[in-house]
Chain A
Amino acid sequence: MSLLSLKNLTKTFGGLKAVDDVSFDVEEGSVMGLIGPNGAGKTTVFNLITGNYKPNSGQVVFDGKSIEGLLTHRIVSMGIGRTFQTIRLFQNLSVLENVLAGCHCRMKSGAFSSMFHTPAQKKEETAALEQSLKELEFVGLRQEAAQLSTSLSYGNQRLLEIARALATQPRLLILDEPAGGMNEQETEDLMELIRKMQERGLTILLIEHDMKLVMQACDELVVIEYGRKIAEGVPEEIKENPRVIEAYLGTEEGE
């Protein structure tokens, strides 16, 4: 059974159909790429999955449960983590605190146990700290733990977002242009990181414009244009697909 399936998802903004009857399945343990020209509606699809938008019609089924219309934090606690296209870190807080944000949904202590520092609360804090440091180690930012998040380089800020999403202990990780703003070496490292995350048993759904990364990292691709799905398949197929080439390069005039 697939971990995530979108069924006839449609979202309109006023008269604009941003996502139009899109369906696809993401198999457990796979890396799926969502590609398409700028403005095709890729990020809108992500926002529909994570509950930032509610679809006009259609279904999002995660792990056998219908999740459309749930609040984002509920969806996160069910096991879908995400990063943002425009980096959204907590700018006044440290690298470590940013990752601790991800641990939040796996913790329980509230205002009262925090005020009294109960033994259970202390234990939970230590466990969260350990896990956060582990995730920072995993993405390679362990040394920067105490720094302010905005002091990191652009590429490292993207990695920090990934660490924060990993700290929510997701089963499905959604990455919105993870290589955006990264140089060639950083992109290489990112591909390695994606492979390592797949080894950890994570399922990954990503949007990316870097074709080299998409072709190498993804097991399967879905292409959308003007909110509609125009192709689906393994990278080799997609590369040869005339509809896709047309969407990216356009048709010659006079044809």
Chain B
Amino acid sequence: MKNKRIIIYGILAVALFCSPFFLNRYWVDVLNSVGLYAILGLSLNLIVGDTGLFNLGHAAFYAVGAYTAAILNTTFHIPILWLLPVCGLTAGVFAVVIARPIIHLRGDYLCIVTIGIGEIVRIALINNVFGITGGANGIFGIARPELFGFQIRKPQEFFYLIWFFVAVTVFFFNRLEQSRFGRALNYLRDDEVAAEGSGINTAHYKLAAFALGAVWAGMVGDIFAAKMTIISPESFSFWESVLMFTLIILGGSGSIPGVLLGAFLVAGLPEVFRGFASFRMLLFGGAMVAMMIFRTQGILPPRARTFPIDTVADKTR
């Protein structure tokens, strides 16, 4: 059963790896945006899926990362890939500062405040805060990323950069799920009072989930800025936050394969059905309603963790 799953994932990964050789630029670019949504989805999944905190303002962290990259790159000409940790850091610090006073809010209340934060950031960017964000036009002229003297510019080249980042994210987040940290997030999603009563610092872990999710979103912002070379506030609208949220719910909240599938469905399918452009949103809405009725856990719900009970058992008996 487990081997079968690994084989399926392996085949899919190889197919994806080879796909730029068969697809034209347009479809490779679609896969690139699927990849970006996948990482954003995984980072938001830490907050929404694993910890159960409703965050509908994730685009704000994404925006902070992207603008950090754009500003530092265009003014100080720091290579864009070097800025990856810096963007993560600014988004993470921003998240901690913002989330600290609101983290105790529950469910829908937190959700409403995060929507507010997302909008405040977007409007602040439009209003050209501190005169450095370029207002509604945004910032252009962001340099292409360079790796070992090789400049990444074609969609096919970005494809490998982005999907390498997806792979790294999946690797680390999977390990995180199988650890004390990941379990703590699940405990406080299931029952906050019981978690605190079992000795878990719930306030700390809520904040940590927010911070880590934001760090990753900030890093995606950096790659996004490098890919587009132009960024403007409209890329970080409320709709972006909604898409990230939707792909998690659709794919399977708290499940890494589910989120990846969700990213394909939310960012990829609309392109496939471009011919039915006017019906897209209708189909999308219908699919969401059907999900909520027939499969509330998402298409690929999280699998139960397995523990090496039998190998440990010999020692404890």
Note whether A and B form a binding pair.
yes
Instruction: Identify the A interface with B (CB < 8 A).
Output: 50, 52, 71-73, 76-77, 82, 84, 88-94, 96-97, 100-102, 104-105, 107, 109-111, 114-117, 121, 124-126, 128-130, 133-134, 137, 145-146, 148, 164-165, 168
Set B175, B199, B208, B309: member contacting A105, Cβ < 8 A: B199
Min Cβ gap B221→A in Å is 20
Asked if residues A89 and B316 are in contact (CB atoms below 8 Å), the reply is: no
Kindly state the separation between the CA atoms of A94 and B305 in the bound complex, as whole angstroms: 8
Asked if residues B180 and A125 are in contact (CB atoms below 8 Å), the reply is: yes
Residue-wise interface mask of B (169-193) relative to A, using a CB-CB cutoff of 8 A (1 in contact, 0 not)? 0001001100111111011011101
Which chain A residue has the least Cβ–Cβ distance from B179?
A: A114
22 CB-based A-B contacts, threshold 8 Å: A71-B196, A73-B196, A76-B198, A76-B199, A88-B197, A91-B190, A91-B191, A93-B190, A101-B199, A104-B180, A104-B199, A110-B180, A110-B181, A111-B208, A114-B175, A115-B176, A133-B316, A137-B316, A146-B304, A146-B307, A168-B198, A168-B199
Set B182, B190, B203: member contacting A92, Cβ < 8 A: B190
Given contacts A114-B180, A117-B175, contact A90 B190 (CB under 8 A): yes
Q: Which residues of B contact A126 (CB under 8 A)?
A: 312
Cβ < 8 Å to A, chain B residues 195-217: 195-203, 208, 212
Cβ < 8 Å to A, chain B residues 57-91: none
Min Cβ gap B191→A in Å is 5
Which chain B residue has the least Cβ–Cβ distance from A91?
A: B190
Question: Does B5 have its Cβ within 8 Å of any Cβ on chain A?
Answer: no
Query: Total interface residues on B, using CB and 8 Å?
Result: 36
Those 8 A-B pairs whose CB atoms lie nearest each other, nearest first: A105-B199, A114-B179, A76-B199, A90-B190, A88-B194, A101-B198, A115-B172, A72-B196
Given contacts A130-B315, A137-B316, contact A114 B196 (CB under 8 A): no
Asked if residues B186 and A114 are in contact (CB atoms below 8 Å), the reply is: no
Question: Does B313 have its Cβ within 8 Å of any Cβ on chain A?
Answer: yes
Q: Which residues of B contact A133 (CB under 8 A)?
A: 309, 312-313, 316
- Given A91-B190, A104-B180, 4 other A-B residues pairs in contact with their CB atoms under 8 A: A89-B191, A90-B194, A93-B186, A165-B198
Kindly state the separation between the CA atoms of A204 and B63 in the bound complex, as whole angstroms: 53
Min Cβ gap B61→A in Å is 17
Kindly state the separation between the CA atoms of A84 and B194 in the bound complex, as whole angstroms: 8
Q: Which residues of B contact A168 (CB under 8 A)?
A: 198-199
Cβ < 8 Å to A, chain B residues 297-316: 304-305, 307-309, 312-313, 315-316
Kindly state the separation between the CA atoms of A107 and B183 in the bound complex, as whole angstroms: 12
Min Cβ gap B254→A in Å is 9
Given contacts A88-B191, A130-B315, A164-B198, contact A115 B175 (CB under 8 A): yes
Kindly state the separation between the CA atoms of A110 and B194 in the bound complex, as whole angstroms: 21
